[in-house]
Each structure stands twice: as structure tokens, then as C-alpha cells.
Amino acid sequence: MMSLRTMLRSMVFTTGALIVSAPVLAADLVVGIASEPSSIDPHYHNLGPNNSAARNVYDRLIHMDAKMQLKPALAVSWKATDDTTWEVKLRQGVSFHDGTPLTAADVVFTFDRIPHVPNSPSAFTKFSKTFVSVEAVDDYTLRIKTKGRQPLTPNNLAQVSIVSKETVEAYYAANSSIAKDVLSIDSSHFNSGKLAVGTGPYKLTSWKPGEAMKLQANESYWGGVPDYKIVEMRPLKNDAARLAALQSGDVDIIDGVPTADLKNMQADSKYTLFKQPSNLAIYLHMDSNRSDSPHITAKDGGKIKNPLLDVRVRKAISMALNREGIVARIMDEAAAPASQMLPKGFSGVSGKLSPVAYDVKGAKKLLAEAGYGDGFKMIINAPNDRYVNDEQIAQAIAQLLARIGIEMSVQTEPKATYFKNASALKYSFMLLGWGSSTGEQGSTLMSLLHTYKKEAGQGTSNRGRFSDAKVDSMLEDAMADVDEASRSEKIAMVAERAIGELYGVIPVHYQMNFWAARKGVIYAPRADNYTVISEMTR
């Protein structure tokens, strides 16, 4: 039943009085970003630019700091009370930007909403799939029941932004024709700003995709008022234009510093360069499931059985990649060759895996053994505005694979359509990137290499539909292990099988994260590559 307070607020939405135009003020910080979000709905797309933008407007129960360590946020404490129960205590006195108080009901509503977000290209269900229930014990206490032991529950809670139940319900009461129910409201109503109401350090004042996102400091923020009060974030996907905007003074700080300009920026006293080793791996995902794959043919254009079904072909492709060359010539040394989905130093990383050696002769031999000695034709699909030098990397990979007889063509497109198409299984061979938001490799392997099971939230980003029963069972066992050292060892063993033996994905390199700012702007660079404005100081 709708509360009186919600009913009154629905009347406000009906009259439009709640959407107040902010006064036009000059920004005291302008940020140039290489990749803008596809939505400001924090539950629409589990994608780096979206999560980065959301981090400025919304809060999570638990935050991760620049080094991916868990820190209290909307939750002040969390603990396992038995093998399948977690108790979470909320911070008191926190309000959403519209004045609505934060309570446990908002958290319950948030997790109820996640599975119902329409047309999500990469759902947040991967972080809630292990939950049986999320219950409000009282206004500031949550009880979470899990499917068996789930030691990574705090890490999963650190990935989901909390929205206001009262605000969304009031909006739906005033606009009930927009969706079949309140949980199914689509992301356009967040993108318009009407529902983009968080508890975060900044309030969204406007967003015009392709132009600018404008933010105003939340003067009541529980974590302290940010240094910069009025902020404008401008998408500048062209590397040269982004750097020129910084050098001309049009922007104060940029992310995604062009790799070719790093040395010059480092030497220029007018700027400060901030860098951090990344948790982002650039990798190849392949259609290893369908016999008839959409973008693979014989050399003469005729139909053939999908060669990527054969592990020898996948291994040959990995052997054909000159990772050192890509790092040196495409990434200007601002990367490192990859052997798995996270570099050394993170939990679940195998010490037995090394980057596959570049071996053209060996790759040709494997192709011949698999029955493809004459090669075949294939398209590599890639984004052209998401990762550092993504289009150039795809071109380089195409040239390398041509050396072993795979006739390649390259098709790139903006990320706005690319990820939707990839998730719709429209491609055969894809260049992608993945950053472990949980700070360990298990969740990444669960998303990318577990058999796709939508309802269970498993394999949610398995765009190649790789499937191996042993990988699934090993991974499920590992993720339920409460002993951190044992869990890490088990996850490493999963990586050894899924990546090292079966080549379910082919890692290429790990990105380095760079920001450059005019003197006077200070930033604590992050491993997750998020540009978090509240962490910028003077």
C-alpha cells in the first residue's frame, strides 16, 4: 500500500514541481573523459564508464578505495552471523538528494529492482545471484540470506548503487503507464534526471549525452562536502582533442591520457600526471558454442563448421598474438602482456600462468592439426571508443592472425551499440575489456567463463557462450570457500583450466590507468579506472 508521504510526493511528480532547474553557474572544475556512460541508471549496464559516473551520484553499501580495499559507506558494519546469513548495519542520518531519508527499505528495493531492469546489456544480477533474500530487520539493519556459504558477499555489496524506494514509487504512482510495474521502469527515466537521485557526493543537475554531464556538490554529504562545488564532465573520445582541451585550458583534468603523449606530459611542468596499475584486462572472446557462427567462412566465402569450437584453433590464435609487440608499438609501453584476467597481486591469480609465447610456426601447425591448414575468413568486432587504442589493437590482431592463414577483416563501432550487439550474440570474435570490480579473479571468471545461466546470474557476460562442466563445478566450489587462501588457490586452478588449457578467453594485455591535470588539481589514481570527482582535491 502506498504511504501518505509517497502519495504526496507522487502529486509533486504529477505537477512537475520536484524537477527544479538549477541556477546556471560556471563550473569550478571541468573534466574531460574518454568514454561517457550509456546511462545514468546505476543498474542498467555493468560497464566501467557507467559505474564511474554512478559513483559520483550514488553510494553503495560498501565502497572500494583506490587500491580496491573495502571501506564502510552506507553500511557502517557487516558480518556473517552463520554460514548463510549476513547482518548489515546502515549509516544513520543519510538522506537522498531530494531529502528522502535512507532506510533499509531502499536497499531491499534496490536488490528487488536489479533483475527487472529492461534491456540490460550486462546485468548486475551477477552480484545478487547468490542471495536468497534481502530483508529489512528495522530501518537500519539488513539481513541477507545466501545460497550456501558466500564469503564474497561484502565484495558484491560494494558493486551495487542504492536508489530511493520512495522516490521511484512516487514517480511511478504519477506515471503508471510507463511500465507494467514499479520495478520495470526503464532507464530513460533515470537518464532524464527525474529518477537520478542518489545519496552520493554530487547531485546530477543535467546530462546531455555527447555534450556534458553537470554536477553540483551535495552540501549534506555524509562523507564530507567535496572540494569542487560545480563540476562539468565532458566526453572527449578523440585522444588528440582531449589532450588539446587540457593544454588549451578548456578542461582541468583528463582521463585516458593518450599513450603516445605520456613522456611529454611527464616532462611538462604545467601538468601533473597520475598513474596506477589497472585491474583492466583486454581480451578476446570467441564463439565457442555455435556450429554455424555468423562471421566465419571458408576462404572462398563458403560455409564451414565454426573453427573456434576446436581448442587447438583457440590456442593457435593465442600463440599468434605478439603481446610484447602490441604493448610496445600500440600501447607505447603503457601496458603489460596478460596471462589471465588479473595481474599478479590480486586474489585468485595463478602463478603457473604466463603470457602465451609468440609462435607463428607453432600456431600454423596447430591449425593444420585441427583441419584448418588452409585457414579461414573471420571478422573481428571491436569498440572504437571504449578502451585505450581499442581500434588500433583490433587492427594489429587482424594483421597478426593473417600471418597464420586466418584472413581477417575489422569492424568497429561505438560502444553504445557494440555491447548490445555482443550481448545479443551477433559476433563471432570480439575484442573486449574487463576490470574486476570485486578486486579478485573469481567473480570475473564467474561472469565470463561459467556456463550462461541467466536466472542464476551466472555467465552474465559470457558473450562467447563458453561452457565446461568441470570449470562450472570448480568455480562454484571455489566461490563458496570461506577460507581466503584456499579460495584464492581454487580460483587460480579454475583460471589454469578455463584460460590456460581450454582458452575460453584469450587475454592480451593489462592496461595502465593515467590521468593528467593542470597544476593545482590533485587526484588519487584508481586501479578500477573510475574518475571519482569527490576524490579530487586542490
Residue 436 DSSP SS3 = coil
Rg (CA), the chain: 24
Is 470 exposed, middle or buried, given 0-12, 13-18 or 19+ CB atoms closer than 10 A? exposed
Nine cell digits for residue 470: 568441470
Neighbouring C-alpha atoms within 13 Å toward the C-beta of 520: 8
DSSP single-letter state for residue 406 = E
For position 10, what pLDDT does the model report? 56
For position 491, what pLDDT does the model report? 97
The C-alpha atoms of residue 101 and residue 88 are separated, in whole angstroms, by 17
- Phi, psi angle pair for 426, to nearest 5°: -85, -5
Would you list the domain boundaries of the chain? 29-252+521-537, 280-511
- Phi, psi angle pair for 211, to nearest 5°: -120, -70
Residues in contact with 17: Cβ distance below 8 Å, sequence separation at least 6, in sequence order: none
Nine cell digits for residue 336: 603489460
Nearest alpha carbon to residue 85 among 137, 50, 160: 137
Other residues' Cβ atoms within 10 Å of the Cβ of residue 138: 9
The C-alpha atoms of residue 461 and residue 121 are separated, in whole angstroms, by 9
Q: Where are the alpha helices (DSSP H) in 91-184?
A: 104-113, 153-157, 165-174
Is 69 exposed, middle or buried, given 0-12, 13-18 or 19+ CB atoms closer than 10 A? exposed
User: Side chain identity at 242, as an amino acid letter?
Assistant: R
Its pTM stands at 0.77
Superfamily of chain region 29-252+521-537 = Periplasmic binding protein-like II (3.40.190.10)
- Paired with 85 in beta bridges are 82, 145
Query: Are 288 and 466 a contacting pair, CB within 8 Å?
Result: yes
Query: Are 336 and 509 a contacting pair, CB within 8 Å?
Result: yes
Superfamily of chain region 280-511 = Dipeptide-binding Protein; Domain 3 (3.10.105.10)
For position 277, what pLDDT does the model report? 83
Same fold, 29-252+521-537 and 280-511: no
Angle between helices 165-174 and 4-15 (to 10 degrees): 60
DSSP single-letter state for residue 64 = E
What string of DSSP letters covers 250-303? S-SEEES--GGGHHHHHH-TTEEEEEEEEEEEEEEEE--S-SS-TTEE-TTS--
- Phi, psi angle pair for 444, to nearest 5°: -65, -45
- Phi, psi angle pair for 472, to nearest 5°: -60, -50
DSSP single-letter state for residue 176 = G
What string of DSSP letters covers 345-405? TSBT--SS--PPPP-HHHHHHHHHHTT-TT-EEEEEEEESSSSTTHHHHHHHHHHHHHTTT
For position 18, what pLDDT does the model report? 44
Q: What does each of the 538 residues of the chain score in pLDDT, given as a tens digit? A: 556 555 545 555 554 434 444 455 678 999 999 999 999 999 999 989 999 999 999 999 999 998 888 999 999 999 999 999 999 999 999 999 999 999 999 999 999 999 999 999 888 998 998 999 999 999 999 999 999 999 999 999 999 999 999 999 999 999 999 999 999 999 999 999 999 999 999 999 999 999 999 999 999 999 999 999 999 999 999 999 999 999 999 999 999 999 999 999 999 999 999 998 889 999 999 999 999 999 999 999 999 999 999 999 999 999 999 999 999 999 999 999 999 999 988 899 999 999 999 999 999 999 999 999 999 999 999 999 999 999 999 999 999 999 999 999 999 999 989 999 999 999 999 999 999 988 899 999 999 999 999 888 899 999 999 999 999 999 999 999 988 899 999 999 999 999 999 999 999 999 999 999 999 999 999 999 999 999 999 9
Is 208 exposed, middle or buried, given 0-12, 13-18 or 19+ CB atoms closer than 10 A? exposed
Altogether, the residues listed in the chain come to a count of: 538
For position 463, what pLDDT does the model report? 97
Nearest alpha carbon to residue 282 among 334, 348, 359: 334
Nine cell digits for residue 466: 563458453
